Amino acid sequence: MKTVLTTFWLAILVSPAFAQGTADYYRPSSGLTEEPGSERHSAKNRRTELTQLVARYGQAYIRERWYVGMDGFFRSDQGQLSQTFNGLISTQATTKSGWSALIGWVGDERWAVEGGYARSPIHNTLLVGSGTSALDLRFTNDKHGFLVRGKRRLQFGKQTGKSGLWLGAGFWIVPNNGQELSQFMIEGYSYSGFGGSFRPSSRPQVDTIQILGDTRLSPKLSGLAEASAEYTVKLGGRFDLSLFARKYWGLGNSITTNLDYRVNGGESQTAVLRGNGSGWSVGISLRYVYALRYDLKTMPRIFNLRGNRQNIL
């Protein structure tokens, strides 16, 4: 009897196990089926959608950005001449091209600070004589400059992109080494008149004119103060293009030409031509944004826009 009861209870316990096949036991629950690699594929899709949303709507949520850029420009400057030796000498503005390499930071699309190196000459241009026969002597400094510039964007209505008008101010440091650039001597002749009162028999007097010059760089640092205005346009992706105009005021002289003037070997007169970089420039700037930081407190609002999935994060 014991054997029969034992067999009966074992049959009752084992039969449910056989009723549930092996395939049924390992089948995932409905709605949880995943193929190999599907989790990775889903994460990739979420990142793609996130990138697309940020590219389309994220401009309004940029907190900071960092960029590198190159400027190309034409710059004009004019030296200051202390006297003209009765109109014999003069100076004029000189315009040459230059460039600069910059690194910058922009905060809240309102404030910006940038700095870098500029390759831009400061000139001393001396004209001796007048008209087409004038002698043109032009000297330049070492063309090096290091600058820092701050800018403020002007807001006109609701602007969400990076395009806009910026006003700025900056400061340049111009290194000088005290090097002598040139020594020169100019000789010429002048007909000074007819010896007092006019008489037909009088002959004009010929005067010998001599000008000695010495041009050298300052042994000290000099500088420039700057005011600027520029309009920035977003090109697409991470590139910006700016058109700018800048005004410069020299702070100390970078290059100096000392002049000594004599007539017939008599008493000398002196003059000084100083170049401090005062002038202006116009040019174009191309910038690449290499890093962005978004405002995470307000940025999630872009995922609440109509048509966006709520579970993208």
Looking up residue 260, the CATH number of its domain turns out to be 2.40.160
DSSP class of residue 222 equals: E
Number of domains observed in the structure of the chain: 1
List, in order, residues 6 or more apart from 170 with CB less than 8 Å away: 147, 148, 149, 150, 225, 226, 228
In this structure, is residue 22 part of a structural domain? no
In this structure, is residue 301 part of a structural domain? no
Which whole-number Å values give the CA distances from 291 to 67, 90, 204, 238, in the listed order?
7, 51, 77, 9
Q: Which residues, in sequence order, are bridge partners of residue 228?
A: 168, 246
In this structure, is residue 118 part of a structural domain? yes
In this structure, is residue 136 part of a structural domain? yes
In this structure, is residue 36 part of a structural domain? no
| 200 Rama class: left (phi>0) / alpha (psi -120 to 50) / beta | alpha
Nearest partner of 160 among 237, 59, 299, 241, judged by Cα: 59
For residues 121 and 98, the answer to whether their CB atoms sit within 8 Å is: yes
Domain around 92:
63-155+163-191+205-290
In this structure, is residue 38 part of a structural domain? no
Q: Going residue by residue through the chain, which has 313 residues, state the pLDDT in tens, using 9 for 90 and above.
A: 555 445 555 554 454 454 444 444 344 444 444 555 555 656 666 655 555 555 555 555 678 999 999 999 999 999 999 999 989 999 999 999 999 999 999 998 899 999 999 999 999 999 998 888 889 999 999 999 999 999 999 987 665 566 899 999 999 999 999 999 999 999 988 776 544 444 444 566 788 999 999 999 999 999 999 999 999 998 878 899 999 999 999 999 999 999 999 998 889 999 999 999 999 999 999 999 999 887 656 655 555 554 554 444 4
In this structure, is residue 142 part of a structural domain? yes
C-alpha dihedral (274, 275, 276, 277), degrees to nearest 10: 160
d(CA 143, CA 311) in angstroms, rounded, equals: 58
In this structure, is residue 309 part of a structural domain? no
Quote the pTM value.
0.73
